[in-house]
Structure 1
């Protein structure tokens, strides 16, 4: 009997140990996803960009962004920057982003960033662009890891992909771009053969007027939709390509070449700049302008400079698509 009791006691103790071990294994398995998630955030990664390569020790939490299109990229990715350069239009932000930018510190403008202000925010990532801030790259890099795009203009998709990688949000970035491309295809389908029309895009500024072409922000979107450009404008840009196929500054004698099946124009008038508004009024009242076929047929549309040009990011791109859909579908009503 004593042997049987002893054997029973041994078996009971072993059972308790086995159950405890199983419980520990279960806890370890339950914790694994959390551990892996933390490891992903803490793993360093290197970003190749316009100024070389930058290594980040972990996913950044406090980001300063130094371009308008970069600000839109962050917001689209669900990241609110701690600091950003002021919008070209607005006080201090564009109307279409101001609600999402409450509490964000202004760190100067794209052309003149405030290094002391940036440093005071103690960011763990700075996103900028070589086109605007190449001269202060070393100073920015001394503050925090810094990633630069090459240029701005119509290259917002390439820049967006770079920014998503820098933020360790590449998968989310791909999702945002896929949604935009789907939006393009949706608008394209709704417009049907209207995309076979020739479009023209004009911008007025204080004492200046420009024709914007295929490499501009609006131009890239029109290209993706399949719209055409006029032969006179193709010849104009072939003859003068100082800015490539971005834009060309013109005098009034070139107004006839602003024509198209549909003409869009916008005015850059920060703080209600009267000189810019006067330029737009003067040109759109000129006899040459009034003689354009687009004017005579009622196919001239004034649109937002912020949405169609200045903001330059994914949020504005989606809003521009909405504008195009509304304008072209109204023609059939």
Structure 2
């Protein structure tokens, strides 16, 4: 009887110990996760994730700033065309997980990520599939404006446990914005960003990332979101289709032409549109205030480092002395 009682007591203690251990383990597991609020909800992210997959290009820079190289990137299978060459060197060895619009779930899962960073607009419909693979946060980048990009950087920093590092980066960036504003003396001149001009003029409206950055350094943006909505001519949330006649009516003080490999450009670096009589009537053309820039930097690199690269170009090429 006494022996049986001892055995039962030992078994009971074993069960209690296991239960306590399990409870403590669960508690520690929860304590080692960060609850991150993002555009599609709240996600518990493991402490200091190392294997991170990004589904939009602008998130790459942010991770690099925080000392993390993504293991997987949605690069549309044309990395050299879309990703800045210096950034590409830093992420050498990553795995392409397909296109940004339709990333491969199989490839993502094969990388065994502990964090996926998705774009709110592009990946809303597949968010549930993504979070079944790994903890997933969704942030605005495709249609992000400047403030969206700053906010996303802070959210990513929280997710990887490096908020202080990002705050330091943003303080330095703010100083660079103020420095650029002093140097270029924009004085509320109107400015317009133009991308493709092959078949029609595709301009960015005021809500685009780079458009907002330009207003931060003292420019007035030439077209508004309401202008874009009024046209109803096939543009999207940040792009506005324009004719040359509409562009001449807007007539900005400064035009920034974002050039990529898909643009029709002759041996002299000119686009067909630049030979048009109406183009030559534009104020910016007459005054020599048309600037050719790289679309990789000015449109696709939507990040703090991307903004800094733009600020460097503004300081080098668009100061008061160079106008």
TM-score with structure 1 length normalisation? Answer: 0.78
Q: CA deviation at 1:236?
A: 3.7
Q: CA deviation at 1:258?
A: 5.0
Secondary structure (helix, strand or coil) at the match of 2:80 reads: coil
Q: CA deviation at 1:248?
A: 1.0
Contact 1:200 1:258 in 2 (8 A): no
Secondary structure (helix, strand or coil) at the match of 1:96 reads: helix
Residue 222 (structure 1) aligned with residue 214 (structure 2): yes
Residue 248 (structure 1) aligned with residue 240 (structure 2): yes
Q: CA deviation at 1:247?
A: 2.9
Aligned to 2:174: 181
Residue 314 (structure 1) aligned with residue 304 (structure 2): yes
Q: CA deviation at 1:243?
A: 6.7
Residue 147 (structure 1) aligned with residue 137 (structure 2): yes
Aligned equivalents of 1:246, 1:201: Cα separation in 2? 11
| Distance change >3 Å, CA 48–CA 259, structure 1 → 2 | same
Residue 79 (structure 1) aligned with residue 72 (structure 2): no
Residue 202 (structure 1) aligned with residue 194 (structure 2): yes
Structure 2 alignment gaps of length 5 or more: 1-27
Aligned equivalents of 2:239, 2:38: Cα separation in 1? 26
Q: CA deviation at 1:143?
A: 1.0
Residue 170 (structure 1) aligned with residue 163 (structure 2): yes
Aligned equivalents of 2:217, 2:29: Cα separation in 1? 38
What value does the CA root-mean-square deviation take over the aligned residues? 2.8
Contact 2:197 2:273 in 1 (8 A): no
Aligned to 2:294: 304
Structure with greater helix percent: 1
Aligned equivalents of 2:34, 2:64: Cα separation in 1? 22
Aligned to 2:9: none
Contact 2:186 2:217 in 1 (8 A): no
Which stretch has the larger CA shift, 145-154 or 288-297? 145-154
Among 289, 300, 315, the alignment partner of 2:279 is 289
Aligned equivalents of 2:276, 2:250: Cα separation in 1? 13
Aligned equivalents of 2:240, 2:51: Cα separation in 1? 39
Aligned equivalents of 2:208, 2:81: Cα separation in 1? 25
Contact 1:195 1:225 in 2 (8 A): no
Q: CA deviation at 1:123?
A: 0.7
| Distance change >3 Å, CA 68–CA 300, structure 1 → 2 | same
Aligned equivalents of 2:204, 2:79: Cα separation in 1? 19
Q: CA deviation at 1:262?
A: 1.7
Among 190, 213, 229, the alignment partner of 2:205 is 213
| Distance change >3 Å, CA 228–CA 93, structure 1 → 2 | closer
Residue 158 (structure 1) aligned with residue 148 (structure 2): no
| Distance change >3 Å, CA 283–CA 235, structure 1 → 2 | farther
| Distance change >3 Å, CA 53–CA 80, structure 1 → 2 | same
Contact 2:206 2:225 in 1 (8 A): no
Contact 1:188 1:195 in 2 (8 A): no
User: Who wins on radius of gyration, i.e. which is larger?
Assistant: 1
Q: CA deviation at 1:277?
A: 4.3
Contact 1:42 1:57 in 2 (8 A): no
Aligned to 1:13: none
| Distance change >3 Å, CA 237–CA 142, structure 1 → 2 | closer
Q: CA deviation at 1:89?
A: 5.9
TM-score with structure 2 length normalisation? Answer: 0.80
Structure 1 alignment gaps of length 5 or more: 1-38
Q: CA deviation at 1:196?
A: 3.0
Among 58, 70, 90, the alignment partner of 2:59 is 70
Deviations 1:196-238 (A, max 9, x none): 32222211155332222321121111111121234x7788447
